[in-house]
Amino acid sequence: MLSAPTLIDLHRHLEGALRVPTILELAARDGHPLAGAADPEDLLVASGPLGGLVPFLTKVDAAPSAFSRLEDWERAAHEVVSDAAADGLSYLELRFSPWFVRQESGLAPEGVIDAIVDGVSAASRESGLPVGLIGILLRDLGPEQGVAQVETLLSRRDVFCAVDLAGNEAGVPAAEFAPAFARARDAGLHVTVHAGEAAGPQSVWDAVTYLGAERIGHGVRSVEDPQLLEHLAARGITLEVALTSNLHTSVVPGYREHPVHALLAAGVPVALATDDPRASAITLSGEYEAARHQVGLSEDQIELIRRAAYEARFLSPGESLVQ
């Protein structure tokens, strides 16, 4: 047993955790299209299953272009970490793509990193919440930009603990990003990869085989391949499972049918995560309550999940790269 209850989120997107009131305030300031929308919250928050990953990503991606200044991203990062601390988290790994922010805002990715680090660092010091940062490579930009995205992260190597691959899983195969991830691993970064959500178990195999994934973002479709389950369990590769997000992306039909039951039964390490708490209108503490009362996990299973999250974190207890 852990000595005390722990709330550890290993998979939270900065862009998907931006506060709705802040989004709308900045949109009004700059005349952003969200300011004139009839129901802007409907564009920003999922209220039920959306039929796929891409419609859900549309909710996530609707907000960042309203953050047009570097100080907006500093504020955003401060608010997101403060919200995590207010929910009682004891450790957070926060991920973002500086190249995506550049695409949405025109801001230099290096400046975006610096602004986010300033915001995270201030909130981490104020709250005492240790934070690790994960840099995201976007599939959608193509593998020819993969190494360039990694080099941007490595220009600020000391503030990142890991690298991730995210975006539409039906797009470019993970194997084509192998050179970029080799560069990241050579620089000492840990690796987590989005896989096994919109795409099937082969995407998880590819993430592990070609990219060196130590953890998998989502990975719930691993249950479709018993051999993969055995591999994940034997290697201790943790799946970052987001229950409500999986409902919103229609990866699973309902809480009770969530494959977390089969994953745990197969001995696969599972850590509960929020994914995009603003887009799903959730908190991590709420996800644990959903795990108990809607998914139907036992207290022993909950404790197993807490332990897996603790053991799978990329930083040591109390360590924070951005303090």
Mind telling me the catalytic residues? 197
Q: What is the rounded CA–CA span in Å between residue 322 and residue 244?
A: 29
CB burial of residue 261 (10 Å; 0-12, 13-18, 19+): middle
| Side-chain-side CA neighbours of residue 98 (13 Å) | 28
Instruction: Assess contact for 94 and 131: CB atoms under 8 A.
Output: yes
Sorted by sequence, the CB contacts under 8 Å of residue 285 that are 6+ apart come out as 7, 87, 88
| DSSP characters over 239-280 | EEE-HHHHHHTTSSS-STT-THHHHHHTT--EEE--BSHHHH
Instruction: Assess contact for 80 and 94: CB atoms under 8 A.
Output: yes
Instruction: Assess contact for 110 and 156: CB atoms under 8 A.
Output: yes
Q: What is the rounded CA–CA span in Å between residue 129 and residue 85?
A: 6
